[in-house]
Structure 1
Amino acid sequence: MSDQGAVISQSAQAGLGVAGIPEGGRRDVALRFFWIGVVAIVFFAAALRTPGLASRSLWLDEAYSAWFSALPLGELWHSVPQYETHAPLYYTLLKGWRWLFGASEAGLRGLSLAASVATVLLVSLSGRLLKLGREGEAVSLLAGLLLAMNAGNIKYAQEARPYALETLAVTIAIIAAARLVTLVYRQPGIGLRSVASAAVVLTLSGGLLLWCHNTALFVAFGIWCALGVAALMLPAADCRRLLAVAVISGFGALVLWSPFLPWFLKQSQAFGAMQFWIELSRFDLISAWILAGGGRTPAVLACLLAVPGLWFMWRRQPQLAVMLGIILCVPLSLVLIISFAFKPIYIDRLFGWMGPILMVLTACGIVGISRSVPVRSAALAVLLLANLHAVTMQYAAPPIEDLRELSATIAADVRPGDAILAVPNELGVGFRYYSDAAGVTYLPGSFHISRQPANDVTSATLEPRRSRRPMSPISQRGSAIPIVSGWWRAAPISTIPTA
């Protein structure tokens, strides 16, 4: 052996790298760069979610979030579930949030922004939380960057609605489930105590998920189905152990959700008798994927990369690849089947939670598509440019409904003693948020018939229209009643006395 070879051999025996740097030191450098990357991605995500947070008007659903969160807790938990088809947990959290940060547009939306940024943080950390090594940490950082620039995730980070919180709950639950599978896969015969912490996190996040939205039951079903299938891919003893943990954690999540179960059953029965206001189309078969991918072009690129991403994950730990595939497909398929075959319940925004999963698979696809660094870099650059364009277009898009401008138009023309007739009546909630003028009556009241003023009001027959065009105010000064028409068509309204 030459003298140089002997030196290298001695250095290796001493735990040194080829450059004479201790292996521990190299790990410290890599870890430092990892945490710098995590912090940079989180700040980048927050920066992308801030524009328009305060300048964009609330739309109708957000106005309801503002209204519900202002109600007393007793009414919020005992009366509101009688007519609102969402669990009251989000409105309760928003009530506490607005107490801390105010009820402005930015204040109300801050809870969703925080949940979205927390989701980006968890995705960026997922490789380290699952102890997947340097390659796994690199993939998770890349997935965090893609999610930070995902236009669909940014959209619901800027809305005072529960979808960003639901996405956070789903992400926590999936990481906890993946942690359970990874522990059992890597340590055959592992004791139940060793997986207890992951099982508790899965239980709590599953309960939170169920409280976020009524359709979250489909998502929870998909997560636990995926966990069960992953267990069946393990040796018999480990399979039984993991199935037992899955059953216990699932039962615990249901127990946490059980106080709302009677309301859920009543709401489901009432919803079954309602006419759904959104018509389904063949576009709905792909609209959830477009939302999860962050826009049409980014979604096409993300889905194309997710296919080799699944194969990349399968070669390293097939249980995780199967889990993510099932979670992506089962809940969406169930909702689409029910919507097209029985009762329409599908809206694309219900599936924003798919974004983090798709971004993880996309990141796996970028890393696994080729060993060539230029090829990987080119794929990443094209996807980032597509994401940037989608985010820019989203910033430039007008508000869903400009309730602020509409309320200002009415406020400039209203006089004490006038009555504001909102068609449909839900629009009155937005007027109350932006301009609750003194001496002005809003007709009809919101939801409760007991909340309507005692005036002699003849109800209008409302028929939904297919198109949702911007709202425009129509004033009728003959009877001193401003009438506001939205995306609904009202039958002729009889004279409404204002005296």
Structure 2
Amino acid sequence: MSVAERGPAVARTVSRPAPARRRSPGPAKAVVVIAPLVLSVALGLWGIRRKNTMWGDESVTYQLAHRDLSQIWLTAQHIDLVHALYYAVMHEIFGLFGAGLLTLRLPSVLAMSVAASGVGLLGLRLAGPRAGLLAGLVFALLPQVQKYAQEGRSYAMVCALISWATYALVISVPHRTRWRWAVYGSTMLLACLLHEFAVLALVAHGVTLVVSRVPRPVLKAWSMSAAGVVAGLLPLAIRSARQSAQVSWIDGPVRLNDVLAVAVVGVVCALAPLGMRGPVRLSVLAVPIVVLPGLLLLIASLVKPLFVDRYVLYSNIGIALLLGAWMDYLLRRQRSSRTAWIAAVAAVAVLAALVQPSLSLRTPESRSNDATAIGAAVRKESRPGDGLLYLSGRHRILTAANPEDTRLLTDLALAQDAISSNTLAGVELPAQDIAARMLEFDRIVAVRAADAHLPNNPQEEAKTSTLRHYFREYGTTHVKGARVTVYVRDQDPSAKADPGSGSPGASGGVRR
């Protein structure tokens, strides 16, 4: 066969090389989502019972979640309106799965796991799969995240909602579809209704869009979503402002140094070229989340002290993104095995440094008080028929989670219990009635929170004055966050002034 005759056949056998198939992002995306979630669940379940102890704020959740929805709503009209939605959610969860310590804390474990997945997806979207995976894992390992993943409070749920609202923001910028912005706005509003200070993340998002110079239609769409969030939150903010006395215990920034250290680390990480995928850079998104909520809360504290680190717990989303992207940047830059070894040693050192905080967070001592130990101390130090006194009355919540601890005692100041009065700690008798009831008992067990300042009201003055003039201290048991003191009737009070005579010290504190 001639060359001419073979030509067409050859031509038919030669074809264009097939275009290289792009690797499916599915497996990488699945790992980025699942690995942080699994790690967060594992860390959340590790030591979740904390030796079967419960701290004061969790005790409030436990008590209110046992009330029906109408009682929760009526109680919220007096106090804790900012947490009413969370209590309602926990009431439904208790109804489905039973009331117990695990049921109290498992929703927070799951919520923080969802938050870790959201952080991983954010990192994937903004800086690639490895950065996303590292960011999600870092988020799960952060001590503050581990702590509040095991708390029966709303902060983990807020973290999860803000994490996914931020992801909705990022994917809404290039697409500009209304339903995506509706998802973003509704998720942010739900976060704000769970805790008002989540609205500070909305400010951080706005700054990100302005700095990113997104097109005007995008900025308009965000502004409309933000306006909807603010409008939805405004009634709650106005009504809860009348209950500002419940944060009177904040007399200065709480754990400000930790927040400042995190902000500094985040800004330093942002100085590296962390990559850019799409119209929003990772550092431009993460730095405002790390810095602005805490800064704005600190500025507000110049008028009224409000700064508590857990109120802006979601700032950890930003620091996890920055650390994950920074580690990815270091790995991309490595040019030798020596660099790899240095990175490996640094990673091991960081993990080792996290061991001690992780262990201590799972002990009762890691919380500001231990309501379980306080109730147990009252039961141990008391005798059936003793009088029981709370200094002040609002600390009645510290023993209310387990009524068996105080069942055999007489609450000397209580006029109406917490449930029937739709309050957290009940309603107390007038001052003169409290003093009269105290004088009917020879032994009184007094519960006082550590370093607590007694309110300046007649009831508390009557309690301390009567103890000073008619009783003597028999013994004190110190427990985490409180002290339990047994007072016995003084057999010769004649040398002491009458408590109603206005003598010096009549309104002072209990003798130490």
- TM bucket (normalised to shorter chain) is 0.7 to 0.9
Q: Does 1:457 align with 2:452?
A: no
Determine the C-alpha separation between the residues in 1 that align with 2:143 and 2:102: 19
Q: Does 1:143 align with 2:135?
A: yes
Q: Which residue of 1 aligns with 2:180?
A: 198
Residues 1:85 and 1:306: Cα distance change in structure 2 (over 3 Å): farther
Shift of 1:394: 2.5
Q: Does 1:164 align with 2:160?
A: no
Q: Does 1:333 align with 2:295?
A: yes
SS in 2 for 1:215: helix
Q: Does 1:266 align with 2:248?
A: no
Contact 2:123 2:321 in 1 (8 A): no
Q: Which residue of 2 aligns with 1:4?
A: none
Q: Which residue of 1 aligns with 2:18?
A: 14
Shift of 1:360: 0.7
Residues 1:37 and 1:333: Cα distance change in structure 2 (over 3 Å): closer
Q: Which residue of 1 aligns with 2:46?
A: 51
Which AA in structure 2 matches 1:422? Y
Determine the C-alpha separation between the residues in 1 that align with 2:269 and 2:52: 34
Contact 2:82 2:236 in 1 (8 A): no
Determine the C-alpha separation between the residues in 1 that align with 2:278 and 2:207: 21
Q: Which residue of 2 aligns with 1:222?
A: 204
Residues 1:214 and 1:95: Cα distance change in structure 2 (over 3 Å): same
Shift of 1:284: 4.9
Q: Which residue of 2 aligns with 1:73?
A: 69
- Percent identical pairs in the alignment equals 21
Determine the C-alpha separation between the residues in 1 that align with 2:80 and 2:171: 36
Shift of 1:139: 1.0
Q: Which residue of 2 aligns with 1:93?
A: 89
Residues 1:11 and 1:409: Cα distance change in structure 2 (over 3 Å): farther
Structure 2 runs not aligned, ≥5 long:
1-13, 436-458, 465-478, 491-506
Which AA in structure 1 matches 2:184? L
Q: Which residue of 1 aligns with 2:454?
A: none
Contact 2:291 2:315 in 1 (8 A): no
SS in 2 for 1:58: coil
Q: Does 1:312 align with 2:308?
A: no
Shift of 1:111: 1.6
Aligned pairs (5 A) from 1:290-305: 303=266
Q: Which residue of 1 aligns with 2:409?
A: 440
Alignment deviations for residues 40-85 of structure 1 (CA, whole Å, 9 cap, x no partner): 4322211111133222411111111112222231232244232225
SS in 2 for 1:312: coil
Alignment deviations for residues 389-441 of structure 1 (CA, whole Å, 9 cap, x no partner): 43134335624222212212322344554332122323322312123444533
Residues 1:41 and 1:318: Cα distance change in structure 2 (over 3 Å): closer
Q: Does 1:63 align with 2:59?
A: yes
Determine the C-alpha separation between the residues in 2 that align with 1:146 and 1:412: 43
Alignment deviations for residues 249-303 of structure 1 (CA, whole Å, 9 cap, x no partner): 1122234334424413433xx44xx88323436x85432245xx5xxxxx98x54
Structure having the higher Rg: 2
Shift of 1:120: 1.1
Contact 1:417 1:440 in 2 (8 A): yes
SS in 2 for 1:106: helix
TM-score (norm 1): 0.75
Q: CA RMSD in A?
A: 3.4
Determine the C-alpha separation between the residues in 1 that align with 2:424 and 2:278: 56
Which AA in structure 2 matches 1:411? R
Structure 1 runs not aligned, ≥5 long:
1-9, 17-22, 185-191, 294-298, 480-489, 495-499
Aligned pairs (5 A) from 1:26-425: 27-28=23-24, 31-32=26-27, 34-36=29-31, 38-54=33-49, 55-84=51-80, 86-127=82-123, 130=125, 136-181=128-173, 183=174, 192=176, 195-230=177-212, 233-234=213-214, 239-267=215-243, 270-271=244-245, 276-280=248-252, 284-289=255-260, 303=266, 306-309=269-272, 311-313=273-275, 317=279, 319-339=281-301, 341-369=302-330, 371-372=333-334, 374=340, 376-396=343-363, 398-400=365-367, 401-425=369-393
Moved more, 207-216 or 359-368: 207-216
